[in-house]
Amino acid sequence: MHPTRTLGALSAALAAAVLFAGAPAGHAGPDDGKVVMTEAHVDAPKTYWEDGHFVLKNEAHMKAVPLDGTVNWIGRGYSTLLRPEQKFMFTVPDDPAFAPLSDHGRRWYAAPHIAGDHNTPIWAGFGADDKIPADTFRDGSFSLDVVGFSGPGRMEAFNAWDHSLNRLLSSHDPSYRSAYLTPGNHTHNVTAFTKPGRYVVDYRTTARGKDGRLIVSKTSTLVWQVGGTRPADKATTPLEDRFAAAHSGRSNTPYTFTMKPHTGRDKPADDQLTDLVFDAGDAAAEGTVTFFLDGFHLAEVPVHGGRATWSEMIGSGTSKFQAVFVPAAGSTAPRWASSQLAYQFGQKSASTTSATGLDALPTPHSQDPAPAFDLKEYMPTKAVKWSVDVTPGKPDEDGDKPFVTRIKLSDPRYRANIDGGYYDAPDAKYSTCQVYGVADEHGELTVSNDGDVCGGYYLKFKIAPHALVKAPGGSIDVTVPLPKDSLTLHRNGELHMSDAGATAAPTAASTSAPTVTPTPSLTPAPAPSASTSASSSVLTAPVLLEHGHVDLKATFDGGRLGAVVGDDTLSHAKQSVDRSIGSVALAVPDSARRRRPTAGFMADPRFDFLGKKGGLVHMLPQVNDNVHVWPGWSTNALAGTGAGPATLKLEPAVLPAGGAYDVFTADSLTGSLDHLIDSRHGRVSMTIPEPTHAHASWAFSKPGAYLLKASYTSRVGGHEVSSRPECLTFLVGDEAIAAHRAGRTPSCPATTSPGPSASSPVSPSAPSVTATHPAPVSSATHSSVPVSSVTAADRPMAPTSAQGATHGMRLALPRTGV
C-alpha cells in the first residue's frame, strides 16, 4: 500500500489511531512533539519511491509520515494470551550461535518479533513499498543502510530460533549495516538494545542504476526511545532551558539519588527491574526529575511529596546513572544534577547525594561507541576471486547431519549480498535449503544445512555487489553440483570487472567447471488484463501465487464488512493489489516440507499435530523465508470504524483424504505455542481482539488441494456482521500445483447467504443478524468434507536456513530484507 495523505491530516490521524499507549506520557523529553510510534505494527524505516528518489518513512496502520519526525518507543509490554509473560526483554541463550549478542550482555531491551497484548510494547520491522522501480537498478538490488548511530549501547535487528541466529542489521558490526530489500515486503524481527535510553539511528537507502549512477536517499533519522517514559505528543520546554531558569545553590536538606533492586512482583519480569529513586529530603518539594544513563536521556517523572521513583530494566554490565532535579516554578528549592552513580543489575543499594552534585547537565558518554561508518564508493582494482567450500559438520543432539557451506571473496572490501540455495536440479524453481546473507568483514558467508533432509544437491547462488561497489555488470550466477555421497566440495572462480559485465570463470584448479549465467533484470510481470469485481479495485482473475507477501484482509466500506486477499507479491501486477479470495491459489511446494525434530522444542508433545518425530510436513513459516508465499492476516482497516474484535474463519470446504491444517505461532526461546487453527478438532476460527497485521506458521498434514472457506465476522453497533465466505485454495505439494496448472483443481462448493454486510450496510438501528456457524469438523477423517484426489508421495526435504543458521525445523528465520 502506498499512503498519499497530507502530512497534517496524517499526523492527526496517527495521533488518534497509533499513538495511544497504556503507560502515561513523560513530563518532558527531547523528543516531545514528534509522532510517537508505539503499541502498533510499525514499519520503520520503510522505503518509498517519490519523484524519482528514495524516501524513508515511518508507517503504522497503513499511514506513513517522514521518518525524521518520528520516535519509536519501546515501553514495557506483556502478553496474557497463553500465560502471563513479559515482551520487552530478550535474554540471550547460552549457545555459541548467539555469541555475537552474548559477548555484549545477556539481558537486552527489545521490541519483540511477536508483540504482546495490544501490540505492546511495539511490533516493529522495516521494509519497502511496492512501487520501488527495482527493474531499473543494477541486479534489481537496493538496500537499507545504517549510516550513523548514537546511544548508550548497541542495536541489533535479528530473528532467532533454537540454535540459530539470523542477523539483519547491526549498529556496531560493519558486516550487518546493510539489509537488502524487496519491493512490497517487510520484516517481523527482534530489535534489541544492550541498554535502555535514547538512541539516534541514521538510515539511507541505496541502489545503483543500470547506467552506473549511484542512487542514494537523503540521510533520515529515527529515534528509538528504549524503555523510559513515553515522549509527549506536544512539544515541551527543553530540560536545558528549565534547568537554566531554575534557582541554583545548596538545598536546606540533602538531595539523594539511590539505585536499588526492585522489590515489587506484580507483573512478569518485575524481578529484572531496578529502581531509580530521587529523594529531596523535604515533603514539600515539587518538580521533575530526569534520569540519565551514560549521559543519555532515560526517563523524566514528576516529583511529588519530595520523592520520585522510576523502575527500569537496565541491561547487563555497569552503567553510569545521573539524576537531574528541576523544582516547580516559583519554588525556592534549588536545582540539582547528581554526580555519576556506577551501578549494575543485582547490585545492592547505592546512592549519591547533593554534597557531591554538579551544576551542569549530563553529557553523552557511551561506553561502547559504534565503529566508524565507511560511506565511500569502492572500485576494485583487479578481478575478485570467489571460492566455495562445502564440508561435513558434526551431528547434533537432534541426530541431524549438518554440512557447512562457506563462500569467500578474495577482496573483503567487495561488499556483496549472496543469494542462493540447494536445488533438486539446475533448473529447479525452488530451493530446498537456503544459502543467503551478506559477506562479512573477511569477505565470507558461512551457512549450515542438514544433509539428511536437504533434498537438493545443486548449489546455485548469485553474488551481487552493494551499491557502493562500482562493479560494472553487477551480479554473477553460479551453479555447482554437490556430491551426495561425501557432502564435500571445492570450487573457485573470478568476478571479472570489465565493461562487458561481471562474469564468473573457474580457475585451472577446478576439476569441473560450474555453470555460469548472467542474472536477468528483475522486471515485474505486467498487470493482467483481468476482469474486476463491482469494486474496481478488487481483481477477480484467477492467479497462482508462489512467492511473496499476502494477507487475508478485512475491509469495511459503507457499513459492509468484506474480505480480500492483499497481494504484495508483484508476480501478476506491477504494484500491490487486492484480489477476491476465490480467485487466489497459494502454492506450498515440496520444497516447503520440513522435518519435525526428534529432540528439542519441536519434539514436545504439544507439536504432535505436526506428525511423528522425524516425519515430514508441508509448512509455510511464521517469518518470511523469501522463497515461498508468506500468508498472514490484517484487520487494520477496521481501526476507527467502531467494529469490535474480529473473528477469522477458515472452514474446510475441500480437503485431501486424511488431510488436516493448522495455523500456529511458536517461540522456541520462550517455549510458547499458540495453536490458532486446529482443523482436526474443529477449531477453524480465531479471534483477533484489535486491528492488527500478523503472520503465523501454516502446516498441512497431507499433499493435495485444500479449499478453505475464509470469512470475517465482527460486531458493529451491537449487530453482528460477516463477510461473504469464499474459498481460498492452498496447493500442497508439487503434484497439486501441477494439477492446478492443468486445470484439475476441485471447485469450491456453493456457499449459503452470509450476514448483512455482504448485501447491505449496517447502521446502529439495523436489526440484529446472527451468523451461521459450522458444525465441528470430525477428527482425522473430515468425513463431511469433500475430498481432493490430488496427492503426492513423500520425499526428503530441507529446512529453512540463513546466515549463521544451523539445521532442523525453522519457524522464525527470515532472510535479510524480506
| 246 and 326 Cβ atoms separated by less than 8 Å | yes
**174 shares its domain with 263:** no
pLDDT attached to residue 61 = 79
- Which DSSP symbol is given to 324? E
**279 shares its domain with 393:** no
Q: Which of 260-274, 312-326, 421-435 has the lowest mean pLDDT?
A: 421-435
Q: 43: domain range?
A: 7-226
**277 shares its domain with 211:** no
Per-residue confidence band for 594, with pLDDT thresholds at 50, 70 and 90: confident
Per-residue confidence band for 487, with pLDDT thresholds at 50, 70 and 90: confident
Q: Give the three-class secondary structure for 562.
A: strand
Per-residue confidence band for 818, with pLDDT thresholds at 50, 70 and 90: very low
Share above pLDDT 90 across residues of the chain, in percent, rounded to a whole number: 63
- Structural domain count of the chain: 4
Residue 291: pLDDT over 70: yes
Residue 777: pLDDT over 70: no
Where does a domain end: 467, 485, 518? 518
172 Cβ contact list (under 8 Å, min separation 6): 149, 154, 155, 368, 370, 371
Residue 80: pLDDT over 70: yes
* Residue 165, in any domain of the structure: yes
Residue 341: pLDDT over 60: yes
| Beta-strand pair 155-161/214-216 | unpaired
Where does a domain end: 356, 375, 404? 356
| 648 and 565 Cβ atoms separated by less than 8 Å | no
Give the H or E element holding residue 735: helix 734-741
**17 shares its domain with 141:** yes
Q: What grid cell was written down for 329? A: 516554578
* Residue 800, in any domain of the structure: no
Q: Residue 263 — φ and ψ, nearest 5°?
A: -100, -15
Write out pLDDT tens, residues 219-261. Answer: 999 999 999 999 999 999 999 999 999 999 888 899 999 999 9
* Residue 709, in any domain of the structure: yes
Dist CA 110 CA 190 (whole Å): 7
| 463 and 503 Cβ atoms separated by less than 8 Å | no
| 77 and 123 Cβ atoms separated by less than 8 Å | no
Per-residue confidence band for 312, with pLDDT thresholds at 50, 70 and 90: very high
Question: Following DSSP, what letter does each residue of 257-268 receive, concatenated?
Answer: EEEEE----SST
Dist CA 454 CA 424 (whole Å): 9
* Residue 41, in any domain of the structure: yes
405 Cβ contact list (under 8 Å, min separation 6): 388, 389, 390, 435, 446, 447, 448, 449, 459
Q: Residue 815 — φ and ψ, nearest 5°?
A: -85, 160
pLDDT, mean over the chain = 84
* Residue 624, in any domain of the structure: no
Average pLDDT of span 424-450: 87
Residue 768: pLDDT over 50: no
**17 shares its domain with 142:** yes
Q: Give the three-class secondary structure for 252.
A: coil
Per-residue confidence band for 300, with pLDDT thresholds at 50, 70 and 90: very high
Amino acid residing at 183 = P
Q: How far is CA 200 from CA 16, 25, 190, in A?
A: 25, 20, 18
Per-residue confidence band for 756, with pLDDT thresholds at 50, 70 and 90: very low
Q: How far is CA 579 from CA 183, 564, 585, 629, in A?
A: 18, 6, 11, 15
With 0-12 CB in 10 A as exposed, 13-18 as middle and 19+ as buried, what is 389?
middle
Average pLDDT of span 573-580: 94
CATH label of the domain that carries residue 336: 2.60.40.10
Residue 524: pLDDT over 50: no
Write out pLDDT tens, residues 443-469. Answer: 999 988 876 667 667 888 889 999 999
Where does a domain end: 197, 226, 255? 226
Residue 423: pLDDT over 80: yes
Give, in degrees to the nearest 5, the angle at Cα 230 between 226 and 234.
130
Q: Which of 224-238, 274-288, 340-354, 755-769 has the lowest mean pLDDT?
A: 755-769
Placement of cell 492476516 in the chain: 633
Strands (DSSP E) contained in 468-537 are 476-481, 489-495, 504-506, 515-518
Amino acid residing at 723 = S
**693 shares its domain with 668:** yes
- SS3 of the chain: helix, strand, coil, percent, to 5: 10, 40, 50
* Residue 616, in any domain of the structure: no
Question: Of the spans 43-47, 81-85, 92-96, 763-767, which averages the highest pLDDT?
Answer: 43-47
Placement of cell 523502575 in the chain: 311
* Residue 659, in any domain of the structure: yes
**551 shares its domain with 488:** no
| 680 and 659 Cβ atoms separated by less than 8 Å | no
**467 shares its domain with 577:** no
**347 shares its domain with 388:** no
The separation between the first and the last C-alpha atoms of the chain, rounded to the nearest angstrom, is 16
Q: Residue 799 — φ and ψ, nearest 5°?
A: -80, 160
Residue 498: pLDDT over 50: no
Rg (CA), the chain: 28
Q: Which of 89-93, 378-382, 647-651, 798-802 has the lowest mean pLDDT?
A: 798-802
Dist CA 702 CA 732 (whole Å): 8
pLDDT attached to residue 398 = 56
pLDDT attached to residue 532 = 38
Cα torsion angle, 194, 195, 196, 197, sign: negative
**165 shares its domain with 294:** no
Dist CA 441 CA 413 (whole Å): 8
pLDDT attached to residue 483 = 74
Alpha helix ranges (H) inside 188-316: 239-245
Write out pLDDT tens, residues 8-26. Answer: 333 444 444 444 344 444 4
Write out pLDDT tens, residues 644-675. Answer: 999 999 999 999 999 999 999 998 888 889 99
Write out pLDDT tens, residues 101-137. Answer: 999 999 999 999 988 888 999 999 999 999 999 999 9
pLDDT attached to residue 504 = 40
**478 shares its domain with 550:** no
Q: Which of 408-422, 547-561, 795-809 has the lowest mean pLDDT?
A: 795-809
Placement of cell 473430515 in the chain: 782
* Residue 607, in any domain of the structure: no
**210 shares its domain with 267:** no
CATH label of the domain that carries residue 505: 2.60.40
Per-residue confidence band for 496, with pLDDT thresholds at 50, 70 and 90: low
Per-residue confidence band for 754, with pLDDT thresholds at 50, 70 and 90: very low
